[in-house]
Amino acid sequence: MKQPIGSKAHRKPFERLPKPDAAVLADLRRRYDGGDITVAGGDAEIDSAFERFSKLHVDALFVGTGSLFNNLRQKIVSLAARFAIPAIYLARESVEIGGLMSYGANEPEAFRVAGTYAGKIFKGEKPGNLPVMQPAKFELAINLRTAKMLGLTVPQTLLVAATDLIE
């Protein structure tokens, strides 16, 4: 499945597409005020998307999750560094390998909650009768080396709020 990559700093640049047909792309452009959308479904398309971002002078990226982004995590982090594009990720692992920052659910806590939910189902509760469970614990990780490399000063409010600072 291909996933579009947008090029506006104030927009979500990575978003999952059910089918990258003309109607879906038109809807994305409407939602993003006519924003530029690039569809990428693999390694080479990610490369060309980052080249476009550079030419368009993108100020920042938001990188979501999904199998494509998880499988190409190292490549995406490397390209963001190569083109000097600050990026925020949902997966903390991206920050550990050089990404600027991440903000997302605490995975061990999310898995614990999922296990509790599964346990209730195995004990006979009907899934339809269970409340929707959402993560309650979030983490903000900041890679200070990457911020310095990008020439960014991380505001004190973010430094204080961070659950993990990588130096």
- Higher pLDDT: 107 or 74? It is 74
pLDDT (average), residues 6-12? 42
pLDDT at position 140 is 96
More confident residue, 64 or 87: 87
- C-alpha 16/C-alpha 3 separation (Å) is 5
How many CB atoms lie under 10 A from the CB of residue 127?
A: 9
> Is 140 within 8 Å of 103 (Cβ atoms)?
yes
Span 107-127, mean pLDDT?
90
Assign 10 a pLDDT band (cuts: 50, 70, 90).
very low
What is the pLDDT of the chain when averaged over all its residues?
Answer: 83
pLDDT per position as a tens digit, 18-31: 446 777 777 777 77
Q: What is the pLDDT of residue 16?
A: 42
85-102 confidence digits (pLDDT tens):
999 999 899 999 999 999
pLDDT of residue 15: 43
Please give the Cα distance from 108 to 25 (Å, whole number): 35
Which pair of structure tokens corresponds to residue 98? Answer: 């050089």
- To the nearest 10 degrees (0 to 180), the angle between helices 43-55 and 73-82 is 20
Name the residue type at position 13: P
Please tell me the least confidently modeled range out of 20-24, 46-50, 55-59. 20-24
Percent of the chain with pLDDT over 90: 44
Closest CA to 149 of 99, 111, 112: 99
For residue 36, name the pLDDT band (cuts at 50, 70, 90): low
For residues 44 and 68, give the distance between their C-alpha atoms in angstroms, rounded to a whole number.
12
144's tokens: 């200070």
**How far apart are alpha carbons 150 and 133 in whole angstroms?**
37
- Whole-angstrom Cα distance, residue 41 to residue 43? 7
